[in-house]
Structure 1
Amino acid sequence: MSRLQFQLQTTDGRARRGRLTFPRGTVETPAFMPVGTYGSVKGILPEQIRALGAEIILGNTFHLYQRPGLDVIADHGGLHGFARWNGPILTDSGGFQVFSLAHRRKITEQGVTFSSPTDGARVFLGPEESMRIQKVLDSDVVMIFDECTPYPATEPVARTSMELSLRWAQRSRNAHDELGNDAALF
């Protein structure tokens, strides 16, 4: 069962305002989500982020996995301790980074094999690995692993990509549940 609760606050035509409630805090939507690729937002302290009105930050699963690594994050009690952020954190799946490494990757049904941009080592990332990494990060919102479809794309390419992403979404959900992760899965 997810730790996320959503409450619709008001609507205006097709627009809506809501409230996301997590054990670590509340996020009024729509929301600005500063990006802390490696766990912290560059050039600004967590208390300054809060003072600017941000209620949630985004961390990058792939980059955190590569550097500083899961052992370092786990030693800090998860990404919240590492980043010194006591509010909600959303982590992406790593799928976009895999997309951006197009010249170094091989996509299969199982996942993606590619060369690490930091040291050239071979890395495999699939739905189960993405969910395992995000569980260690202890995110409040975790993203399913998907294929980022290139643009422009023909209809057959887009369809094949979407179908693969749907299968990976199911595997992500299964892994998320098997890990006992109670973070919201998106």
Structure 2
Amino acid sequence: MNTLILYATKYGATKQIADQLARELGGNVTINNIHDGKPGIEAFDTVIVGGSVYMNKIQHGITSFLKANEKQLIKKRLGLFIGCYTPPETEGYLEQFFSTALLAHAQAKDMLGGLMQYDKMNPVYRKIFMSLKKIDDFNKNFIEPKIETERIRAFAERMQTETMRC
């Protein structure tokens, strides 16, 4: 399997996810940050695309890549993921970031966790989150996010075992 993992990250957590996913997949895996240039996907039979969600938005580079390459991606073994602190059980969340056609075609799709990297946040957002964490009602439901190792492992297994749907 000749695999491309194309990702975008704001603070680095999505790169950590992409690196762990590459280790789980093994084989010939190329990891590419979309900000370093958009590679041609012709040479890859498997393409995995992921981005971080920040303030309910995924990076523009990811959305523009997906729109520009949707027809080619549907001919590939495809995986889609996001890195975020939204709970993975949140129904309909992936649909905000990926087209219906890509989601229907994807061999694996999931939210693979994230990190709240307060020291790297915009000072305004950091102050908002720190203020929220002082509110008891907020803390009752807030779980500090983490990179979901088991979900990444399961994602890699789905990419390796499912037959390609075209």
TM-score range, shorter chain: 0.3 to 0.5
TM-score when scaled to structure 1? 0.32
Larger Rg: 1
Q: Which has the higher helix share?
A: 2
